[in-house]
Chains A and B, each alone.
Chain A
Amino acid sequence: MLKINNLHVKLEEEDKQILKGLSLEVPAGQVHAIMGPNGSGKSTLSYVLSGRDGYEVTEGEAHLDGESLLDMEPEERAAAGLFLAFQYPVEIPGVGNMTFLRTAVNAQRKARGETELSSGEFLKEVRAKAAELQISPDMLKRPVNVGFSGGEKKRNEILQMAMLAPRMCIMDETDSGLDVDAMRLVSEGVNALRSPDRSFLVITHYQRLLNHIQPDVVHIMSNGRIVKSGGPELALEVEENGYGDLLAEAG
Chain B
Amino acid sequence: MTATTDLDVREGVDRETVETVQNMGSYKYGWDTEIEMEYAPKGVNEDIVRLISEKNGEPQWMTDWRLEAYRRWVTMTEPRWALLNYPKIDYQDQYYYARPKSMEVKPKSLDEVDPKLLATYDKLGIPLREQMILAGVEGAEAAPAEGRKVAVDAVFDSVSVGTTFKDELAKAGVIFCSISEAIREHPELVKKYLGSVVPQSDNYFATLNSAVFSDGSFVYIPPGVRCPMELSTYFRINAENTGQFERTLIIADKGSYVSYLEGCTAPKRDTTQLHAAVVELVILEDAEIKYSTVQNWFPGDEDGKGGIYNFVTKRADCRGDRAKVMWTQVETGSAITWKYPSCILRGNESQGEFYSIAIANNWQQADTGTKMIHLGKNTRSRIVSKGISAGQAQNTYRGLVTMHPRATNSRNYTQCDSLLIGDKCGAHTVPYIEVKNTSSRVEHEATTSKVDDDQLFYCRSRGMDEEEAVALVVNGFCREVLQALPMEFAMEAQSLVAISLEGSVG
Mark A residues whose CB is within 8 Å of B. 50-53, 73-75, 77-79, 83-84, 86, 89-96, 98-100, 102-108, 111, 116, 118-120, 122-123, 141, 143, 160, 164
Please count how many residues in chain B sit with their CB below 8 Å of the partner chain's CB atoms: 35
Give the distance in Å from the alpha carbon of A209 to the alpha carbon of B3 in the complex: 42
Residues in B neighbouring A98, C-beta threshold 8 A: 7, 11
**CB–CB A75/B464 < 8 A:** yes
Give the shortest distance, in Å, between B459 (CB) and chain A (any CB).
Answer: 8
Q: Is B123 an interface residue (CB 8 A)?
A: no
Give the distance in Å from the alpha carbon of A99 to the alpha carbon of B459 in the complex: 12
Give the shortest distance, in Å, between A88 (CB) and chain B (any CB).
Answer: 9
Question: Could you list some 8 contacts between A and B, CB below 8 A?
Answer: A51-B460, A52-B457, A75-B466, A78-B462, A96-B10, A100-B472, A111-B463, A164-B462
Given contacts A52-B457, A111-B463, A122-B11, contact A94 B18 (CB under 8 A): no
**CB–CB A78/B461 < 8 A:** yes
In the complex, per-residue mask of B405-447: 1 if CB is within 8 Å of any chain A CB, else 0 = 0000000000000000000000000000000000000000000
Residues in B neighbouring A89, C-beta threshold 8 A: 458
Q: Is B455 an interface residue (CB 8 A)?
A: yes
Give the distance in Å from the alpha carbon of A78 to the alpha carbon of B453 in the complex: 17
Give the distance in Å from the alpha carbon of A111 to the alpha carbon of B457 in the complex: 17
Q: Is B454 an interface residue (CB 8 A)?
A: yes
Task: With CB as the reference atom, state the residue of chain B lying closest to A79.
Answer: B463
In the complex, per-residue mask of B450-484: 1 if CB is within 8 Å of any chain A CB, else 0 = 00111101111111111010001101111110000
Q: Is B181 an interface residue (CB 8 A)?
A: no
Given contacts A74-B461, A78-B460, A108-B463, contact A116 B476 (CB under 8 A): no
**CB–CB A94/B461 < 8 A:** no
**CB–CB B477/A94 < 8 A:** yes
Q: Is B12 an interface residue (CB 8 A)?
A: yes
**CB–CB A119/B468 < 8 A:** no
**CB–CB A53/B453 < 8 A:** yes
Give the shortest distance, in Å, between A83 (CB) and chain B (any CB).
Answer: 8
In the complex, per-residue mask of B95-133: 1 if CB is within 8 Å of any chain A CB, else 0 = 000000000000000000000000000000000000000
Give the shortest distance, in Å, between A72 (CB) and chain B (any CB).
Answer: 11
**CB–CB B461/A84 < 8 A:** yes
Q: Which residue of A73, A99, A120 has the most chain B CB atoms within 10 A of its CB atom?
A: A99
Q: Is B14 an interface residue (CB 8 A)?
A: yes
Task: With CB as the reference atom, state the residue of chain B lying closest to A99.
Answer: B14
Residues in A neighbouring B15, C-beta threshold 8 A: 102-103, 106, 116
Give the distance in Å from the alpha carbon of A107 to the alpha carbon of B3 in the complex: 21
Q: Given known contacts A84-B461, A94-B477, A119-B11, what 20 new A-B pairs fall within 8 Å (CB)?
A: A53-B453, A75-B463, A90-B457, A92-B459, A92-B473, A94-B480, A95-B473, A96-B10, A102-B11, A103-B15, A104-B462, A104-B463, A105-B463, A107-B464, A111-B463, A118-B1, A119-B2, A119-B12, A143-B476, A164-B463
**CB–CB A73/B465 < 8 A:** yes
Give the distance in Å from the alpha carbon of A96 to the alpha carbon of B482 in the complex: 13
In the complex, per-residue mask of B228-247: 1 if CB is within 8 Å of any chain A CB, else 0 = 00000000000000000000
Residues in B neighbouring A119, C-beta threshold 8 A: 1-4, 8, 11-12
Give the shortest distance, in Å, between A173 (CB) and chain B (any CB).
Answer: 16
Give the shortest distance, in Å, between B92 (CB) and chain A (any CB).
Answer: 47
Across the A-B interface, give the 7 residue pairs with the lowest CB-CB distance, nearest first: A94-B476, A94-B479, A95-B476, A104-B462, A108-B463, A78-B463, A90-B458
